[in-house]
Amino acid sequence: MSEKLKIAFYWAASCGGCEIAVLDLNEKILDVVALADIVFWPVAIDIKYKDVEAMPEKSIDITFFNGSIRNSEQEHMAKVLREKSKTLVAFGSCAHQGSVPGLANLNDKKEIFDQVYMKDLSNVNPKSTTPQTQTKVKEGTLNIPEFYDTVKTLAQTVDVDYYLPGCPPPVKLIAAAIEAIKSNKLPPKGSVLAPLKAVCDECPRKRENKKIGKIYRVYDKTPEPEKCLLEQGILCLGLATRSGCGAQCLNVDMPCTGCGGPAPNVPDQGAAMMSALASILGYDGEPGKTKYTEKEIEELLSQVKDPVGTFFMYSLPASILKRKVIKK
């Protein structure tokens, strides 16, 4: 390769964990530096938005964009980086599916502001001040971005070329993506850069295809180490979730909560998990029973607490639900 690639990293509504995942490449980060010049990375190098805005179109080879789109600044940067980049990668669960910040789609802007700036016990806010996009001060006007009612994924905002799933993406997936870039072997546009498997395919636990009658919270019991957690009644999203993580939560007796996003060929992760659960939920003592009364179904389903938070913890904005309806 005669000329080094130009790479950018950016964070929108995120936690910084994706940045740490890049650093967790450890010595492999030297490959990245050997391969590419990093032209923009707010957490690590001092380049301003105006410098990025002044870059020529398509002058960045690859931008790794993490975080969901929560406010107007993030939307603006998504558009700027799309225009400046030949390839745009939605990096991590927030950019890919909306992730944990996307749970805010169960509320709107007003409800969030009320809680954060008024109701929270740590507040002293007698004038009920909330963030305004423009604030007049005696020296001039201060601007901050507009906070939107709805969290969006990167692909709901601009055209995205690839997706690196996970919260954060597992180091081996990042390393594989870097390797694919290096050897010019990236898959077709729109691909998710992770194995074509579900978490269950990487999980060492044994499934017996049995019904479950009782759902347990993780603190209710110590699971048997070799058996499928779902079949022990502990809600686990492994069936509906993309692999690449090596089922590491399952290896420490914790259920999958779904950070990898939808499994291959699953259009909606939460819906797929609910559908899977519906097919195995039943009276475990009566394996032949196929007909259930409404009351019995209600009784079985009522064991699932907070279904939205459980099945859509990482995917609400990308799901068919998207958000709770805003009543005007």
Partner 1 sequence: MKEIVIDPITRLEGHGNVSIFLNDKGEVENAYLKIPELRGFEKFCIGRKAELMPQLTSRICGVCPVAHHFAATKALDAAFNVEPPSAAKKLRELMYSAYYIYDHTLHFY
Q: Select from 35, 38, 80, 106 the one that contacts partner 1 (CB under 8 A).
A: 106
Q: How many residues belong to the site for partner 1 (CB under 8 A)?
A: 56
DSSP string, 35-76: HEEEEE-TTTS---HHHHHTSPTT-EEEEEEESBEEEHHHHH
Please give the Cα distance from 145 to 163 (Å, whole number): 26
Contact between 307 and partner 1 per CB under 8 A: no
Q: How far is the CB of 323 from partner 1 (least distance, A)?
A: 11
Q: How far is the CB of 116 from partner 1 (least distance, A)?
A: 5
Contact between 140 and partner 1 per CB under 8 A: yes
Residues in 161-190 that interact with partner 1 by CB under 8 A: 167-168
Q: Do residues 68 and 153 make contact, with C-beta atoms less than 8 angstroms apart?
A: yes
> In b/e form, how buried is each residue of 237-271, taking b as 16+ CB within 10 angstroms?
bbbbbbbbbebebbeeeebbbbbbbbbeebebbbb
Q: Select from 34, 116, 297, 326 the one that contacts partner 1 (CB under 8 A).
A: 116
Q: How far is the CB of 237 from partner 1 (least distance, A)?
A: 12
Q: How far is the CB of 71 from partner 1 (least distance, A)?
A: 7
Contact between 104 and partner 1 per CB under 8 A: yes
Closest CA to 262 of 320, 307, 178: 320
Residues 6+ apart with CB under 8 A from 286: none
Q: Select from 197, 214, 217, 221 the one that contacts partner 1 (CB under 8 A).
A: 217
Contact between 276 and partner 1 per CB under 8 A: no
Please give the Cα distance from 275 to 172 (Å, whole number): 31
Nearer to partner 1, 101 or 282 (CB): 101
Closest CA to 89 of 168, 15, 9, 17: 9
Provide the binding-site residues for partner 1, judged by CB under 8 A. Answer: 11, 13-21, 23, 42-50, 70-71, 73, 99-101, 103-104, 106-107, 111-112, 115-116, 120, 131, 137-140, 142-145, 147, 167-168, 217-219, 257, 305-306, 309-310, 313
